[in-house]
Amino acid sequence: MSSLRSRVARLLRRGGPSPALADVRHEEPPLVGFVVHGAGGVHPASAHVRVTGRMSALAASGAARVAQVDPVRWADGTDTAHLDVILVQRDAFPLAALDAAFARAAAEGTRIVAEVDDDFFSQEARARLAQAEYDPDRLAAVDRLVRAADAVVVSTERLRSVLRSEGIESVVVRNAVQPGLWSTQPTEPDAAGPRRVLYMGTATHGGDLELLRPVFDGFTDDEGRPVRLEVVGVTAGDDDWYDRLALPEGATHYPDFVAFLRQNAHRWSAGVAPLTDDRFNDAKSDLKFLEYTMLGLPFVGSDRPSYAGVDAHGGLLAADGAAPWRAALLTAFRERVERVDGARDHVLRARSAGAEPAWCAALGISGGALSSPGADDLR
């Protein structure tokens, strides 16, 4: 049974009357499709953090039915399922199929929601992405999707401002953690050998990593114990001033990645998140604060807009330079337990993933059902 929005769209095309409320009182929940990279539950970290966890919560609430959609099959009509809403993350919908997808959505009254968590629009950001993993078609797919979508969801206020400067309105839904993936048990760092500090991330952070080179050059803790940086991902290269902990095969799947981190949490005394001063970084979220906190590590990050406010919840911020970073890390070592406890209480209380109201509103879902269509919703 199709939703009220879809029935109204079809009736408007036929010029028929609007359906009476009595006729739709027993409608099935709306069907929300989502398009992300990966399949079979195996997705990139951003898809788990931003989309699939929330979709699971939405389905569990009974407010909607959800299903992952093959974008090409839906665009060409091979997949005949009628969708009330389709959410697309980043560039997961191929550029070549987008025009057909928008045409089908217009014909069937499907609401298209774009989801982005990085700056794909400023000149500096596009240059950085092009040097990493995004070819021109992938960047064009994001741009086309976001500019034509019915609603756009972003991860930070800074990113919202970037889109607004492009004439695009959006709603902010902050990154959050799925508590079930993590442990709330305390961790105790290894007492033997050098004191290790974790820096994890995708292999696009070479410039950010360089900020830490002078910090760890001859760095020792209060007891004279050597302090070593250990990276997981971050950069494709290696150097003698940091160590690398290699990911086992398959651990790029986010739940497996989290499990790998948890198994190794005893190795580290803190987690760091350096960011260079550029617009691309300024639009990023505080996800590393959330993840290090749930891993049981005190957080030390660059004093940049991405991490503004984490110091009110146990995090530590450092200006560029060896002295501020060393001071912050030494504080993290000394105050590890109380800082982690305070940060974890905050994350569990205020930053746990679910079907948040702002996210549901962007999908057009409120009060457990698809929102009534307005003149601006129907195409």
pLDDT score of 205: 66
Give whole-number Cα distances, 349 to 56, 154, 182, in Å.
19, 21, 14
Predicted confidence (pLDDT) at residue 9 exceeds the cutoff of 60: no
Among 208, 209, 215, 326, residue whose Cα is nearest residue 276: 208
For residue 219, is it within any domain?
Answer: yes
Q: Is residue 97 located within the same domain as residue 53?
A: yes
Domain extent at residue 226 = 179-350
pLDDT score of 78: 97
Per the CB < 8 A criterion, the answer to whether 83 and 33 are in contact is yes
For residue 141, is it within any domain?
Answer: yes
For residue 145, is it within any domain?
Answer: yes
Q: Is residue 79 located within the same domain as residue 196?
A: no
Q: How many domains does the chain have?
A: 2
For residue 25, is it within any domain?
Answer: yes
CATH number of the CATH domain containing 251: 3.40.50.2000
For residue 378, is it within any domain?
Answer: no
Residues ≥6 apart with Cβ < 8 Å to 39: 68
Q: Angle at Cα 33 formed by Cα 29 and Cα 36, nearest 5°?
A: 150
Q: What is the C-alpha to C-alpha distance for residues 235 and 197, in angstroms, rounded to an integer?
A: 16
For residue 379, is it within any domain?
Answer: no
Among 55, 51, 47, 96, residue whose Cα is nearest residue 75: 96
pLDDT score of 129: 79
Q: What is the DSSP letter of 282?
A: H
CATH number of the CATH domain containing 130: 3.40.50.2300
Q: Is residue 197 located within the same domain as residue 149?
A: no
pLDDT score of 8: 41
Per the CB < 8 A criterion, the answer to whether 58 and 355 are in contact is yes
pLDDT band at 133 (very low <50, low <70, confident <90, very high): confident
Q: Is residue 244 located within the same domain as residue 198?
A: yes
Q: Is residue 310 located within the same domain as residue 229?
A: yes
pLDDT score of 23: 44
For residue 260, is it within any domain?
Answer: yes
Q: Is residue 149 located within the same domain as residue 242?
A: no
Among 296, 79, 64, 40, residue whose Cα is nearest residue 185: 296
For residue 376, is it within any domain?
Answer: no
Q: Is residue 185 located within the same domain as residue 51?
A: no
Q: Is residue 192 located within the same domain as residue 162?
A: no
Percent of the chain with pLDDT over 90: 69
Q: Is residue 195 located within the same domain as residue 249?
A: yes
| Most confident of the ranges 41-50, 210-219, 351-360 | 210-219
Q: Is residue 287 located within the same domain as residue 156?
A: no
pLDDT in tens, 149-202: 999 999 999 999 999 999 999 999 999 999 899 988 888 998 988 999 999 987
Q: Is residue 171 located within the same domain as residue 90?
A: yes
Q: Is residue 44 located within the same domain as residue 88?
A: yes
